[in-house]
Amino acid sequence: MTLLCGIDEAGRGPVIGPMVMCGVAIEPKDEKKLAKIGVKDSKLLLPKKREELFDKILAIVKKYEIVVMSPQEIDSALMDPDTNLNWLEADHAAEIVNKLTPQKAIIDCPSNNIESYKEYIRKKLNVDCELQVEHKADLNHIVVGAASIIAKVTRDRMIEEIKKKVGHDIGSGYPADPVTQAFIRDNYKNYPDIFRKSWQTYKDVVAKKQQKGLNEF
């Protein structure tokens, strides 16, 4: 059986919560089935539609793999001089390909240097697989769009769990969101595990808060 794999991530930019990567492997003929149910880049779909597609996609694919990167794992990668967020993503992309063992994998690329990203992944493979690495793969390839939906829904569900746990409005979780900034300011000590402490927004909020505390002495 020939398998085609698509790999994408969700939640690269937020200061709150995990980043999620997903790989799905299908038989090439099943791309038509994905198209028929309305699969496309997750960013082009409303949350309700993504939720509707989640189980339908998993019923069509032959195999799938979901990787959740915690804020702590992301921070560790960014604080390590030998790696960064792109290489962390590439490490997990290789891990997904090795587990799904497709003949071809199409991977959405976060790096400006597509060739070096592709070679980095290739060196970590222990399977014989053709790699197609490109920008906007989730928009241009339905199998990557399917992976993007699974990743996005998985992350959205985890964010809902965080909201229930903290019982506050956390905003979008993105650095520029004033609601998110206010939530960090009021809760950075209460829920340290949910924040990406290497994000400049987090550092700035905490530094201002601590400076204010010092000024009160």
Mean pLDDT on 63-79: 97
Do 97 and 195 share a domain, yes or no? no
Q: What pLDDT digit, counting tens, does each position of 38-55 carry?
A: 999 999 999 999 999 999
Do 26 and 80 share a domain, yes or no? yes
Per-residue burial over 53-65, b = 16 or more CB atoms within 10 Å of its CB, e = otherwise: bbebbeebbeebb
Q: What is the pTM of this model?
A: 0.94
- Domain holding 207, by residue range, is 167-215
Paired strand residues for 104: 4, 130
Do 140 and 42 share a domain, yes or no? yes
At 217, the pLDDT band (50, 70, 90 cuts) reads very low
| CATH number for position 191 | 1.10.10.460
At 213, the pLDDT band (50, 70, 90 cuts) reads low
Do 156 and 189 share a domain, yes or no? no
Cα 62 from Cα 5, distance rounded (Å): 10
Residue 37 CA: distances (Å) to CA of 52, 88, 151, 156: 10, 32, 18, 21
pLDDT at 200 over 90: yes
Do 104 and 125 share a domain, yes or no? yes
- pLDDT above 70 covers a percentage of the chain that reads 97
Cα 39 from Cα 173, distance rounded (Å): 26
Q: What pLDDT digit, counting tens, does each position of 134-167 carry?
A: 999 999 999 999 999 999 999 999 999 999 999 9
Do 151 and 183 share a domain, yes or no? no
Domain boundary among 124, 144, 163: 163
* CB burial of residue 80 (10 Å; 0-12, 13-18, 19+): exposed
Do 211 and 119 share a domain, yes or no? no
Q: What pLDDT digit, counting tens, does each position of 92-143 carry?
A: 999 999 999 999 999 999 999 999 999 999 999 999 999 999 999 999 999 9
**What's the confidence (pLDDT) of residue 190?**
94
Do 176 and 99 share a domain, yes or no? no
Mean pLDDT of the chain: 95
Domain boundary among 124, 148, 163: 163
Cα 52 from Cα 2, distance rounded (Å): 27
| CATH number for position 125 | 3.30.420.10
Mean pLDDT on 3-23: 97
Query: What domain count does the chain have?
Result: 2
At 23, the pLDDT band (50, 70, 90 cuts) reads very high
- The number of residues in the chain equals 217
Do 33 and 112 share a domain, yes or no? yes
> Which of 26-35, 70-79, 189-198, 205-214 is least confident?
205-214
Do 159 and 198 share a domain, yes or no? no
Do 62 and 86 share a domain, yes or no? yes
Domain boundary among 120, 144, 163: 163
Do 113 and 172 share a domain, yes or no? no
Cα 99 from Cα 119, distance rounded (Å): 18
Q: Are residues 22 and 42 in contact, defined by beta-carbon separation less than 8 angstroms?
A: no
Q: What string of H, E and C letters represents the secondary structure of the chain? A: CCCEEEEEEECCCCCECCEEEEEEEECHHHHHHHHHCCCCCHHHCCHHHHHHHHHHHHHHCCEEEEEEECHHHHHHHHHCCCCCHHHHHHHHHHHHHHHHCCCEEEEECCCCCHHHHHHHHHHCCCCCCEEEEECCHHHHCHHHHHHHHHHHHHHHHHHHHHHHHHCCCCCCCCCCCHHHHHHHHHHCCCCHHHECCCCHHHHHHHHHHHHHHHHCC
Q: Of 82, 92, 85, whose CA–CA distance to 14 is shortest?
A: 85
